[in-house]
Amino acid sequence: MASGGPSFLLLSMVPTILLLCIDFACCNTGRRTSDGLDTDFTGFSVPLEHSFEVDDVSQFRVRGALQLRGGRETSVSLSQNQLSEEDRSTLKEVAAVDGLYRIRVPRVSLSADRQSDRPMDGFLTAFVRACSLVESHLSDVITLHTDVSGFLIGVSIVTIPGACRGTEVEDEVDLEAFNTTLNVIAPTNAPQPETALFIERMDMENEKRGKPQEQKSFFAKYWMYIVPLVLFLMMSGAQDQSGGGAGGGGANGGR
């Protein structure tokens, strides 16, 4: 990231010579930059467009603007307009015929050093049933998905609650402003096999099992057998001396 800045500056001056250097700088993507950097690094905005038509032929209009702030921590905020009277009635009509409400965003890169690249053609589109949008009173969750290098790869929209129950939305005020939650999801790193922890655990177990056995002396190990044996021997020895006489006496008595 740090090397990206200066090399861009150099590129604008001597574009041909330093192509190789640039390749190295943004080798994560393998893409080449074509123009310089006029955009500021603090952030940029892309339009969020939506479409809802009764005849289901999509005609996208601007719904709001996504403020993207690249960098180590990408942050996104959304500023959007209120729905006009006309839009509200169209939306209700579309909901009545179970039409779709679609949104789209242009394909851009969220990371700061790449948003100045040549603009990518095409859009990412997603949809939700218009009726569920109406019934949820325009409360939707828009999620932007990025790939490892920060390109937007997909967008999704869901409403909460998501079901169409056929409940009438009487109040026009409910359909005026969007109540949008915006998320950006980057790919998670899949776990590697946990060898270190396992070996550590095994070692600990071995230690636990191994140590006491080694430390114990012969006597410590078998005291429970030795003590009764000794006691028994002592007892029998003592009895031998006293009881021996008695026994002897008994024997004598028997004679």
Applying CB under 8 A, the residues found at the interface with other proteins are 27-31, 56, 58, 98, 100, 102, 107, 120, 122-129, 132, 141, 143, 145, 147-149, 151, 153-154, 156, 158-164, 185-195, 197-198, 201, 205
Distances (CA, A) of 244 to 63, 94, 134, 165, 253: 112, 113, 106, 101, 14
The residues, ordered by sequence, that sit 6+ positions from 88 with a Cβ below 8 Å of its Cβ are: 172, 175, 176
Cα separation, 47 vs 50, in Å, equals 10
Shorter beta-carbon distance to other proteins: residue 61 or 239: 61
Taking the least distance from each CB to other proteins, the nearer of 9 and 153 is 153
In the complex, least distance from residue 240 CB atom to other proteins, rounded to whole angstroms: 37
Which tokens is 225 given? 């057998």
Nearer to other proteins, 88 or 129 (CB): 129
Residue among 149 and 180 whose Cβ is closer to other proteins? 149
For strand 139-146 and strand 179-185, is the pairing parallel, antiparallel, or unpaired?
parallel
- For the bound state, the minimum distance from the C-beta of residue 194 to other proteins, rounded and expressed in Å, comes to 6
Give min distance, CB of 12 to other proteins, in A: 22
How many angstroms separate the Cα of 93 from the Cα of each of 38, 52, 173? Answer: 44, 10, 16
- Residue 93 Cβ, how far from other proteins at the closest point, in Å? 16
